[in-house]
Amino acid sequence: MSLESAIIIGAGPCGLAAAIELQQAGLNPLVIEKRNIAYSISQYPTYMNFFSTADRLEIGNVPFTSANEKPSRIEALHYYRTAAQRHGLRIRPYETITSIERREDGSFVLGGHDRHGDALSYESKNVIIATGYFDHPNMIGIPGETSEKVSHFFREAHPYIGMEVAIIGGRNSAIDAALELERVGARVTIVYRGEDYSRSIKPWVRPTIENKVNNGAIVMKFNSRVVEITPRAVIIESPEGITELPNDFVLALTGFHPDRQFLTASGITMEDEGYPTFNEDTMESNVPGIYLAGVVASRHEANEIFIESGRFHGQKIVEDIRSKL
């Protein structure tokens, strides 16, 4: 087993960007991904368009051209796998890292398994965690939340044709899902704890959702929360009291959080807000030699715009590693 100069855990856009930066610095990193390249983007809604323009999503000096002002999910998937191939990155897909142990000499042993369950072990001088958030949705903690009718992800509207659908949340993902669902004939109710529309809603989308709500095509319940999910209904608490609405499916689009258990088991401490400790100038965590890159280092709700800044984390990491040579 050879000692790697650097191992990157996660092959999303920011992990790939960090890998390219390290490669160009002569470090030849190994990227380990438990699923496929750009997995998080592959889980986005099928017909989603990014908030960002294509040039703000570029990595590794590979031009990102799009037929639209804002690139689509399918264009992004094509772009990031092309960027990885063009740079010849060493990527091990479908391998899961479950532990990181720091040795006395400062190097690391990474343990895990492949897709068949066979054990894996790697050694590296540096580790960059770029695992994102999207495997760990924020749970509400209400009865019925784990039932089969509830999903924390929205892919496409077709399965919900003619259904009563409740959406929990009021930010971009919730609004986009509501509009797409309404277009295919679903009866949509948005349950949002805020007093008014979220300021994060894309400016070109807000007039559309307001018009749909004002016309009664979509029901919007502000200052409200779902307190229970039953097989045929949702129970909603609002300023008007407790109401029960007929319901077939619930989309709990309440955001995501980092894998805190994996991070803390690796020795990384967590801030009071629930985010990992790291130096913003170097991206190094409190564990020397372990760095964070991408959405896992976000102190705000994760969304696609974070690629704009997370793609530059690799530059900070390279500078810090070089300073220690």
* Ramachandran assignment for 69, one of left (phi > 0), alpha (psi -120 to 50 degrees), beta (any other): alpha
State residue 295's pLDDT score.
Answer: 85
Distance of alpha carbon 110 from alpha carbon 112, whole angstroms: 7
The answer to whether 3-136+256-324 and 150-252 have equal CATH topology is yes
| Below-50 pLDDT ranges, the chain | 304-305
Is 9:97 a contact under the CB 8 Å cutoff?
A: yes
The count of C-alpha atoms lying within 13 angstroms of the C-alpha of 44, restricted to the half-sphere facing its C-beta, is 24
State residue 305's pLDDT score.
Answer: 46
Q: How many CB atoms lie within 10 A of CB 312?
A: 16
Q: Which CATH architecture has domain 3-136+256-324?
A: 3-Layer(bba) Sandwich (3.50)
Non-local (6+) Cβ contacts of 36 within 8 A are 11, 42, 93, 94
State residue 299's pLDDT score.
Answer: 67
State residue 304's pLDDT score.
Answer: 45
Distance of alpha carbon 245 from alpha carbon 191, whole angstroms: 11
Angle at 292 between CA 270 and CA 282, to 5 degrees: 105
Spell out the domain ranges in the chain.
Answer: 3-136+256-324, 150-252
State residue 132's pLDDT score.
Answer: 78
Dihedral of alpha carbons 116, 120, 124, 127, sign: positive
State residue 300's pLDDT score.
Answer: 58
Distance of alpha carbon 121 from alpha carbon 125, whole angstroms: 14
Q: CATH number for the 150-252 domain, one of 3.60.15.10, 3.50.50.60, 1.20.1050.10, 3.40.50.10800?
A: 3.50.50.60
State residue 230's pLDDT score.
Answer: 97
